[in-house]
Chains A and B, each alone.
Chain A
Amino acid sequence: MEVPILKQGGYLIASIQSALSDADLLSLRDELAYRVGRFRSRGVIVDVTALDVMDSFATRTMRSIAHMLKLRGAETVIVGIQPEVAFAMVQLGLTLEDVATALDLEEGLAYLNRGMKRENTGAR
């Protein structure tokens, strides 16, 4: 099950469409690392709205995606974690502490735009 990745301006948007196997999650990570370089993307949104479970493996992979892309010069935002999924993650003890999250795609884009703005003014 391949995850479609759209290029929108300087950003990449990966929209997970259905449940993913571990192998699918890892290929998403590798594909994003590759495309960030190829398109010189500065921000990546991973939309997990369609995921009905975020277990320890999915959480670990999201964190490793964010860390890896950071090293490639891009900011990552995870959007669309459903309330029930969030509750189950808390029960399990899983956190995304060092990874940016936003309610939905729109908020995720707003978050990345704010980051870019800060960077531009800071560079002056």
Chain B
Amino acid sequence: MRDESRVPIHSDIDIVHARQKGREFAARIGFSSGELTLIATAISELARNIVEYAQHGEMIFQAIHLAGQEGICITAKDEGPGILDVGQALQDGYSSRRSYGLGLPGTKRIVDEFEIASEVGTGTTIVVRKWKK
């Protein structure tokens, strides 16, 4: 199995594409079907944020191993406008677009580890990890 897969994100079609690629990738790692649905949902939200707020970016899927555990690392990266107040963006219901504001906090609930680095004018990189149960 290749340890990494990349999907460029430029339009709404790429969101579907990233979801499918990510699901296949996670299936090869051996995640259960319930976990695959959660992973695909998280990918969808992260990819959608790229399309909505940054227009262009990339999703990267990696197989990870630690102390006998196996998992997936998902990176969503863009060089868009960045997020001024990351704490606020992570709150349930906060949206700068009058949307649901659940993409980031919801993704955080779905995964085991969630890291976000964002700088206004430079871009946003979100790295999440989910371990097999």
Question: Which A positions have Cβ atoms within 8 angstroms of B?
Answer: 19-23, 52-57, 59-60, 82, 84-85, 87-89, 91-94
In the assembled complex, which residues on chain A have CB atoms less than 8 Å from the CB atom of B96? none
Main secondary structure on A side of the interface with B: helix
Q: Identify A84's interface contact among B16, B34, B45, B99, CB under 8 A.
A: B34
Contact of B19 with A by CB under 8 A: yes
Inter-chain contact A84/B37, CB cutoff 8 Å: yes
Count of A-B contacts judged by CB separation below 8 Å: 72
Main secondary structure on B side of the interface with A: helix
Contact of B57 with A by CB under 8 A: no
In whole angstroms, what is the CA distance A85 to B40 when docked? 10
**Chain A residue, CB-CB nearest to B47:** A55
In whole angstroms, what is the CA distance A82 to B13 when docked? 23
In whole angstroms, what is the CA distance A96 to B103 when docked? 16
Inter-chain contact A56/B45, CB cutoff 8 Å: yes
In whole angstroms, what is the CA distance A60 to B97 when docked? 13
